[in-house]
Structure 1
Amino acid sequence: MDANRVKQILSSSADIEVQYNGVSVWIHKLHEDGKTATVELRGPLEEQSEVDISELQEF
């Protein structure tokens, strides 16, 4: 995924499914470098991670 698409998803009111390593995640923010983002696992764990946006996939 590229930075422009991450920005579009963040500003959208739609529930857009994004996966990281096969796991559904919410994108919280795009970092200033434009290459990484903070994501949170969907579900009860609410675990946040910083990931490379090139590894995010939209479904």
Structure 2
Amino acid sequence: MPDDLGEVIVEATRNGTYLKVTAVHVATGIEASAVGPAMEPKAVERLAIAKLRRLIATS
């Protein structure tokens, strides 16, 4: 988990061959989601966290 962001809650939901990962920044309530192949859960999680970083940087 990225320490520079503070506390982040990560939730993964599988739907067939796809995985949706949602990352929520606890301090601000900002959330970001990413969808990708269920066979690559860490890659989808990294993408969701990267999107969350961009959203926090622009807020």
TM-score > 0.5, shorter chain as reference: no
TM-score range, shorter chain: 0.3 to 0.5
Larger Rg belongs to = 2
Going by fraction, where is helix more abundant, 1 or 2? 2
Question: Higher RCO, 1 or 2 (CA under 8 Å, sep at least 6)?
Answer: 1
